[in-house]
Structure formats: structure tokens, C-alpha cells
Amino acid sequence: MADEALFHFLHNELIHYAYKSAEQGEVENGRCITRLENMGFRVGQGLIERFTKDTARFKDELDVMKFICKDFWTSVFKKQIDNLRTNHQGIYVLQDNKFRLLTQMSAGKQYLEHAPRYLAFTCGMVRGGLSNLGVKSIVTAEVSVMPACKFQVMIQKM
Amino acid sequence: LSQQTNTLNSELFTLTYGALVTQLCKDYENDEEVNKQLDKMGYNIGVRLIEDFLARSSVGRCHDFRETADVIAKVAFKMYLGITPSVTNWSPAGDEFSLILESNPLVDFVELPDNHSGLVYSNLLCGVLRGALEMVQMAVDVKFAQDTLRGDNVTEIRMKFIKRIEENLPAGEE
């Protein structure tokens, strides 16, 4: 079993790699974010593929989201999502008050501009996990005050 | 559930590593470049990982290369990858040894595609070891001598002590 720290170090290195040869600017930043998100997507798919082999099928969409918030989040981040909200029309907001991949950075408003790159991979993981559970989505994230962040999942009708 | 959780956690790193290698193979023209990149990234991880290791392991300063080898195999590998490679094949001068891994957690479910015969899939590990040891004043050369992914029976990492490093050189990043 690989230690959690290894993943954190590797994740940081992925971000460093994605941005290493990138020029400044919106477009380039967008590309880097997309790359990280795509890598996360593949990992999310892979995680769900193995994890839910023996688990019973889910009742409905909300059940799937609860699974992400509890089981999936605990397995990946050693804690559950702190708060789940939904408008019951396909939009879910997952709040993590102490997001593990942000706790290394200073708490508060410093480095806020860099936060998106630390969230991109995880957004991809969620999207990938959902994808393998038969749910198509768009996942974004925002940080207001580190290390708290919110992941927004928009279910796409297939 | 805890058993499932353990399985999942291990796969998170393994899967992420796989995604990285896949991405690098897309970004670089040849396997040699990918190997180099993996080594560099491993190095960057190693120079930070050593602090985490020293903080969590309460291992003191190693007096010689043999002690270092034991700590790497029995403490570090165990802590980070959950495996304990064996330390063998010491050179007569005591400056070179092998780590034999019966199983390599990085390569679960991995198959090398035909057109990547030069890829050293787990090369990140070599960089990690090199970077970590550099931070404790040891310059070493690390490479894979055998690889189960390439058809060998075991995975063998060969480590060679090059020299002691002066204390006040700043940490590099590659």
C-alpha cells in the first residue's frame, strides 16, 4: 500500500511539470489546467473500476453523489466531504473545509491565484469516477479561503 | 471496508503514476527522454521526501553505506511503498549494492506496449533515491538492472556510492 505522502509529492510534481514549459497567459494556463484535469479523469476512472466491483448498484443520482462524498473521498483524502448541497436539478456542491491537497499551502488568501492548479487533477478524478458510474458531468472547483474549497458537479444528461 | 480502502489508496499512487507515464510518452518523442524526465521528477520529489522521511522515521545519521542500504530497504521502502526489498550483491569495495524487489507496486496492471521497449517505467524511483540521498550528503548513481516489466524475473535496482557532498551546497532542482 503506497503511503499517502507519495501521492501528494507526485501530485505537486505533476503540477510543476504541467506548468514548467508553459508561457504566461490565460490560454496557456487553461491548457495546463486541462492537462491536469485529463490525467485526473483517467485516474478517477481507474479508481472506481476497482473499488466498486463488489458494491451494489446505486439507487439514484443522489446515491452516487453520496458515495463520492463518503467512500470515494475517504479513500482518496482520508476524510469525507464536509457538506453536500444540491438543487435537485443536477447541480451538486461538495464542500471540503480542509482539502488535503491545499493544506500544505498557507491558509488564508495568499497564493489564491494558484489554487486552481491544485484542484484541477481532483476535478478530473471526480469526473472520471462519475463517468465510470454511468454519470456524465462537468466538475469545477473554487477556493475562497484556503484550505477550504468547493467542488461543483453539473450532471449532463446523456 | 478498510480492506477496500487500503486497496484503493495504493492504487491512487499507482494509477496517478501510470497517468503520468502515459502523458510523458505523449509529450516526448522517445523513451530515453521519458526516462530522463521521470528521473528528474523523481529527483524533485526525493529532495522533499527526505524531510518527510526523517521526520517520521526517527532514523539517525547512517555511519556507512551498508547502514544506508538497510535503512532504505527496511524503513523507507516499507514506509512509502509497503514492501521490503532485499539488499544483496555488494561490491567488494562496499560501494555498490542491489535492491531486489519481488514485487513492484508501481507496475500493477501495467503492460509495456511494444513500441516502448526502451522505457524504464519505474525510473521515478531512481530519481527519488538520488535526490533524497543528495540531501544527506551522498552522491549516488541509481539505475534499474532488472525489470519484471521487461521480462526479468525480479526487479533489481543497483545503487552505487559516488562521493560525499559538502554540506553547504544549495539544494538543486531540475
Question: In A, residues 94-153, which contact B (CB 8 Å cutoff)?
Answer: none
Using a CB-CB cut-off of 8 Å, the residues of chain A touching B20 are: 10, 14, 17, 39
Rounded mean pLDDT of B103-119? 83
pLDDT at A7 over 90: yes
Closest-CA distance of chain A to residue B35, Å: 14
Q: pLDDT tens digits, residue range B116-144? A: 889 999 999 999 999 999 999 999 999 99
Q: Which of B10, B23, B52 sits opposite A2 (nearest CB)?
A: B10
A58: contact with B, CB 8 A cutoff: no
Cα dihedral: B130, B133, B137, B139 (round 10): -30
The pLDDT assigned to B142 comes to: 98
Question: Quick one: three-class SS letters along chain B?
Answer: CHHHHHHHHHHHHHHHHHHHHHHHHHHCCCHHHHHHHHHHHHHHHHHHHHHHHHHHHCCCCCCCHHHHHHHHHHHHHHHHHCCCCEEECCCCCCCEEEEEECCCHHHCCCCCCHHHCCCCCCCHHHHHHHHHHHCCCEEEEEEEEECHHHCCCCEEEEEEEEEECCCCCCCCCC
Nearest chain B residue to A52, by CA: B4
- CB contact under 8 Å between A3 and B80, yes or no, is yes
Q: Give the position of cell 540531501.
A: B135
Q: Give the position of cell 541509481.
A: B142
Using a CB-CB cut-off of 8 Å, the residues of chain B touching A71 are: 1
Q: Which of B19, B48, B81 sits opposite A2 (nearest CB)?
A: B81
Q: pLDDT tens digits, residue range A106-124? A: 655 656 778 889 999 999 9
> Comparing B108 with A139, which gets the higher pLDDT?
A139
CA distances from B29 to A15, B34, B112, B151 (A): 21, 8, 16, 24
Rounded mean pLDDT of A140-153? 92
- CB contact under 8 Å between B9 and A75, yes or no, is yes
Q: Which of B6, B12, B37 sits opposite A47 (nearest CB)?
A: B12
Q: How far is CA A136 from the centre of its chain?
A: 15
* Confidence band for B8, pLDDT divided at 50, 70 and 90: very low
Mean pLDDT of chain B: 89
Return phi, psi of residue A151, to 5°: -105, 125
Residue A146 forms beta bridges with which residues? A108
The pLDDT assigned to B138 comes to: 95
- Measured distance CA(A139)–CA(A47) in Å, rounded: 17
- Measured distance CA(B159)–CA(B153) in Å, rounded: 19
Q: Give the position of cell 528521473.
A: B39
Which three cell numbers mark B51?
Answer: 524531510
CA neighbours closer than 13 Å in the CB half-sphere of residue B39: 14
* Confidence band for A2, pLDDT divided at 50, 70 and 90: confident
The secondary structure element, H or E, covering residue A99 is none
Rounded mean pLDDT of B145-164? 94
Nearest chain B residue to A3, by CA: B80
Nearest chain A residue to B49, by CA: A9
The pLDDT assigned to A148 comes to: 92
- The residues, any chain, with a CB within 8 Å of residue B67's CB and separated by 6 or more, are none
The pLDDT assigned to B10 comes to: 53
- CB contact under 8 Å between B48 and A9, yes or no, is yes
The pLDDT assigned to A54 comes to: 53
Nearest chain A residue to B79, by CA: A3
Residue among A4, A8, A10, A21 with most chain B CBs within 10 A, to mutate:
A10
Q: Give the position of cell 514549459.
A: A21
Mean pLDDT of chain A: 88
Using a CB-CB cut-off of 8 Å, the residues of chain A touching B41 are: 13, 16-17
The pLDDT assigned to B62 comes to: 87
Which three cell numbers mark A146?
Answer: 484556503
pLDDT at B114 over 80: no
Q: Give the position of cell 527522454.
A: B33
The pLDDT assigned to B22 comes to: 92
Q: What residues of chain B have any CB closer than 8 angstroms to a CB in chain A? A: 1, 4-20, 22-23, 37, 41, 44-45, 48-49, 52, 79-82, 105
Q: pLDDT tens digits, residue range A48-100? A: 876 665 556 788 899 999 999 998 999 899 999 999 999 999 999 999 999 99
CA neighbours closer than 13 Å in the CB half-sphere of residue A113: 3
ipTM of this complex prediction, to 2 decimal places:
0.90
CA distances from A75 to A137, B10, B98 (A): 21, 10, 34
Give helix A4-20 / helix B31-57 axis angle, nearest 10°. Answer: 140
Q: pLDDT tens digits, residue range B35-58? A: 999 999 999 999 999 999 999 998
Q: How far is CA A52 from the centre of its chain?
A: 18
The pLDDT assigned to B3 comes to: 41
Nearest chain A residue to B2, by CA: A75
- CB contact under 8 Å between B19 and A5, yes or no, is no
- The residues, any chain, with a CB within 8 Å of residue A35's CB and separated by 6 or more, are A18, B23
> Comparing B124 with B105, which gets the higher pLDDT?
B124
Using a CB-CB cut-off of 8 Å, the residues of chain B touching A53 are: none
- CB contact under 8 Å between B17 and A10, yes or no, is yes
